[in-house]
Amino acid sequence: MCRCKWAGEDPLYCDYHDNEWGFPLHDDLMLFEFLILEGAQAGLSWITILRKRENYRKAFDNLDPNVIVNYTQEKVDELLLNEGIIRNKLKINSAIKNAKAFLEVQKEFGSFDRYIWSFTKGKTIQNSWKDLSEVPASTPESELMSKDLKKRGFKFVGPTICYAFMQATGMVNDHTIDCFRYKKLK
């Protein structure tokens, strides 16, 4: 079975690649989770975040924006001591700001899903990469998404983070054409 080369041999990475990455995601809470995790990943490897994912879920109340939006300084201080997550004050505070902005988007558009998928006109962008080296770090769509998210108060949502979010949530099919998942998601 041929996978995208980035998945390597790590069982956690392979499972993520095979069962999650690139699958079109339309559940608001899962979209929020990916938004928070992608922001936490800034400057780090994705495997680092995958290994801490369950810790994030526990520490951040199942990544529920309705709970996170009410976090106090006391909760932030508690999170800064939690060795199971990335203990970066800016990233922790961004999760709270992003929860607030996320809930505002839900109110305005009826769902975050409707809003975020509008950047791809509600469909998965089908790419045909032969090699990992062809995959861009950002695209015009991720740049537009980044600009709009920032305008709405979101943090840690630069064009590269937005593109990684798009890849993870199936807004783009960036499995390489030799990968067994490419055709299944096309």
- The Cβ-side half-sphere exposure at 58, using a 13 Å CA radius, reads 9
Helices of type H across the chain: 11-19, 28-41, 46-59, 65-68, 73-80, 89-109, 112-116, 140-151, 159-168, 180-185
**88 phi-psi bin (left φ>0, alpha ψ -120 to 50, beta other):** beta
Active site residues: 16, 38, 46
Cα–Cα distance, 24 to 159 (Å, whole number): 19
| C-beta separation of 169 from 37 below 8 A | no
